[in-house]
Amino acid sequence: MADVILKDIRKSFGRVEVIKGVDITIEDGEFVVFVGPSGCGKSTLLRMIAGLEDITSGTLEIGGSVVNDVQPKERGIAMVFQSYAIFPHMTVRENMAFGLTIAKASKEEKESKVQEAARILQMEDLLDRKPSQLSGGQRQRVAIGRAITRKPSVFLFDEPLSNLDAALRMDMRMEIGRLHEQLAATMIYVTHDQVEAMTLADKIVVLKDGKVMQVGKPMELYHEPANKFVAGFLGAPS
Ligand code: ADP
Ligand code: MG
């Protein structure tokens, strides 16, 4: 069970409050997309869920426990970043196994988990390559593969496709959708791309200036936006 519950979460950098009391409930296995303009706090929220950023106040629960003070690697989450964050000197296999290497997994365990991730991502033939021998989409798949091998119960994606060209973005979007179906994991996905949000999400959270504007199913937001801001961002053309 890995539902993720944010209760009155706030974050200040110095004296500036950038997350201003956010309440969100994400159910186990749900695909939730955070959307909103640049600077509204999407990455900060994800980084707090991942444990990469302290929470100023409020409580964060993952799988029924408050994890505000739990170390990132103990939270059962894996994060995929916009910049691929893969190592150029390592092969695809080594990159995918990286989290397991850190966790001192056995060679056999690493290989079996890498094989499984490679099968899911259709990268079995590319495991001995270096990142320089891969396309942009394949590199991003390596980053996703690294997350998969860790078997997290929650995946966090921070604009994972924004460095890819439009055609590739569409392929990868479908691939991430398939990944969610196959793994049945909870996924929290940040984007400022309306199409990604509308096609991938079970539930969309619209953010503006560190606050939640509306939460709902894509079609609810599309047809019944709560205000002009949501309408402008996701609503039906009027
Ligand atoms: P988004 O991902 O939606 O573009 P961010 O979460 O990156 O937004 O940023 C939200 C706000 O917090 C912005 O105003 C940004 O400048 C500020 N911010 C983010 N990280 C820091 C930091 N480490 N120090 C100070 N301000 C920050
Ligand atoms: Mg961001």
Count each helix (H run) and each strand (E run) in the chain, helices first: 9, 10
- C-alpha–C-alpha distance, residues 49 and 104, integer Å: 24
- What does the pLDDT read at residue 166? 85
- In this prediction, residue 1 carries a pLDDT of 63
Backbone φ, ψ for residue 39 (5° rounding): 90, 0
pTM of the model: 0.93
- Give the model's pLDDT for residue 238: 59
Q: Which ligand is nearest to the CA of 159?
A: 2
Share of the chain above pLDDT 90, in %: 77
User: Which atom number of ligand 1 is nearest to the Cα of residue 210?
Assistant: 10
pLDDT in tens, 171-201: 889 999 999 999 999 999 999 888 899 999 9
**Bridge partners (DSSP) listed for residue 188:** 32, 156
pLDDT tens for residues 117-164?
999 998 999 999 999 999 888 998 999 999 999 889 999 999 988 888
Q: Which amino acid is at 201?
A: A
Mean pLDDT computed over 16-28:
98
Ligand 1 proximal residues by C-beta, below 6 Å: 13, 18, 36, 38-44
